Amino acid sequence: MQQYFVKGKAGNPVIITDKDTIKHMFQVMRLVEDDEVVLVFEDGIKRLARVISSSNYQFDIVEELADHVEMPVQVTIASGFPKGDKLDLVTQKATELGAHAIWAYPADWSVVKWDGKKLAKKEEKLAKIALGAAEQSKRNVVPEVKLFEKKSDFLKTLTDFDKVFIAYEETAKAGELATLARELQTVKAGQKLLFIFGSEGGISPKEIDAFEAAGSIKVGLGPRIMRTETAPLYALSAVSYAMEMNQ
């Protein structure tokens, strides 16, 4: 069944006002009276809704649905600005894998340089990708997308998390493969986790020092070295296995 995210609070009748959502519902999917869809409001609760007017874009809420697919922990991934459209891919797949938020920051070894104007346009594009992926994967929430113009602002957020992991390829090269698994065993439901990833060039020694000074932990992600767009997906899969599949 089709699912859509709606801003605001639930209440009858529901009137859809977002132009993109209206277009998708009534032009692309051709919804008509008595068709049913799932609507998700800002409270994260899914509700079965029935079209009562396709011309006025109105729905009637039929019932709440006890369908909750969010991870028991909030996982934020933060990538150094990568080249090309790699962040588009990461945003889509990370949303499908359950990320709570998708961030990016200007890493020391990032090749691309985005100023405030470019960042705003990129952030808007990524937010739409996250919305579409959240609808497709039947999420209860749409992940936050945030691009930091200054790395100093990103560093200030590290104390907001219960655990911060640095995906560091030198740790993997050294054969350290147990820290992440061990740390995930201590994670409790409701906690906030942050995974930090470098750009294509990796994470600089200066950045490692700054992250560790804030209490972050270096971890390896298996014996193989991954691309910058692959590592976040591996990390999310590992958390899902530890917190959802291995209980």
Helices of type H across 108-178: 116-136, 151-156, 169-173
Residue 31 in tokens: 């919804």
Instruction: Please state, rounded to an integer, the average pLDDT across all residues of the chain.
Output: 94
Q: Which of 6-10, 63-67, 118-122, 166-170 has the lowest mean pLDDT?
A: 166-170
State mean pLDDT over 25-52. 97
State mean pLDDT over 36-44. 96
8 A C-beta contact, residue 114 and residue 122 = yes
Q: Where are the domains of the chain?
A: 3-65, 74-245
3-65 CATH pick, 3.40.190.10, 2.40.240.20, 1.10.1370.20, 1.10.357.10: 2.40.240.20
CATH architecture type of domain 74-245: 3-Layer(aba) Sandwich (3.40)
Residue 99 backbone class (left: φ over 0; alpha: ψ -120 to 50; beta: rest): beta
Query: What pLDDT score does 247 carry?
Result: 65
pLDDT over 90 (residue 246): no
Report the percentage of the chain scoring pLDDT > 70.
97
Taking the model in full, what pTM does it have?
0.93
Structure-token match 């996982």, residue found: 75
pLDDT over 70 (residue 195): yes
For CA atoms 71, 241, 2, 67, the dihedral sign is: negative
- Residue 155's pLDDT band, with cuts at 50, 70 and 90, is very high
8 A C-beta contact, residue 150 and residue 119 = no
Question: Cα(33)–Cα(12) distance, rounded to whole angstroms?
Answer: 16
- Which of helix, strand or coil describes residue 41? coil
Looking only at the bridges linking them, the beta strands covering 14-15 and 58-65 are antiparallel
What is the helix (H) or strand (E) element at residue 80, kind and residue range? strand 74-80
- Residue 166's pLDDT band, with cuts at 50, 70 and 90, is very high
8 A C-beta contact, residue 107 and residue 204 = yes
State mean pLDDT over 130-143. 97
